[in-house]
Amino acid sequence: MRSALVPATLAATALATGLLAGCSDDSGDGAATSATSGTTGVSGTSSAPADPGSTNQTSSGTSGASSSPESGSAPGTSVSTPTSATSSPAGSSTTSTVVPQPKDNSRPTSIAATPGQGCVPTRVDVPSVGITEPIVAMGTNSQGQIYPPARTTMWYDKSPQPGDKGVSVVAGHVTYDGPDDFYELDRVAIGASVSVKCSNGRTLAWKVTERQSINKTALTRDARVWGSSQTPVVALITCDRASKVVDGHHLNNYVVWVRPA
């Protein structure tokens, strides 16, 4: 089975983008996720979002969004957005969601190394769960969705560079005909170390401050990913392999937020 990532818009900068909304189901693993592709975000007005890197910690499978960051709508033109919005808690895995189908993959982009304090990310390492993956700068696919190829971790090139103010989006599949790059992401603990290597030779140190399983429809409106932040934040996004499967697709994403260590 194939699925994709659910795109949304960066409310702060009006960027049409997508969120990792799914991964391909592995027939050998009943918990595996199917990468569901999404679309540009549900239209709406964004409330002034609070810092996405709140230390309010929510673990996988919890129902309800974290109460500290303020949630807002991510305005944007819908490409294949779920047909109906949901008012259920962000972490609910039982909320009905229509999962769009991607027709092709996100496209790589060529971004030169940034001198000084900039960071075009080239690798992410989460030693505590064995994740060590190269990062490819990518945009959206032909449908305006974030959907990397199998075995590819992507940095959404319209999100801020890691280390800059704002929320940098890094996405990968959890399964794609077997375990994929972020298969172990849901095992990461609060306080765990994360490092991001940059094309200019820098290495940035981070720590996990929040994690949550979030309904894919709700995630397209989540200001903690698509809103603004006065401090650097990286959102690592995959599918929640423990969430309910509908029509071959998991209903939730799993998001891990990291802040500078």
Q: Is the entire prediction scored with pTM above 0.75?
A: no
194-215: per-residue pLDDT in tens?
999 999 999 999 999 999 999 9
Share of the chain above pLDDT 70, in %: 61
More confident residue, 150 or 117: 150
- Residue 195 to residues 179, 203, 206, 209, Cα–Cα distance (Å): 22, 7, 6, 14
Of residues 110, 84, 107, 108, the one with CA closest to residue 97: 84
Does residue 148 surpass a pLDDT of 60? Answer: yes
For residue 39, the model assigns a pLDDT of 31
**Structural domain for 124, as ranges:** 1-261
* CATH of residue 158: 2.40.260.10
Q: Are 203 and 51 a contacting pair, CB within 8 Å?
A: no
Say if strands 166-171 and 153-156 run parallel, antiparallel, or are unpaired.
Answer: antiparallel
Cα dihedral: 184, 127, 145, 25 (round 10): -20
Distance CA 76, CA 51 (A): 21
Does residue 82 surpass a pLDDT of 90? Answer: no
Lowest mean pLDDT among 54-68, 165-179, 224-238: 54-68
Indicate the average pLDDT of the chain: 71
For residue 168, the model assigns a pLDDT of 98
For residue 100, the model assigns a pLDDT of 64
Structural domain count of the chain: 1
For residue 27, the model assigns a pLDDT of 31
4-45: per-residue pLDDT in tens?
544 444 332 223 334 444 444 433 333 332 333 333 222 222
176-186: per-residue pLDDT in tens?
888 999 999 99
Distance CA 10, CA 192 (A): 27
For residue 97, the model assigns a pLDDT of 61
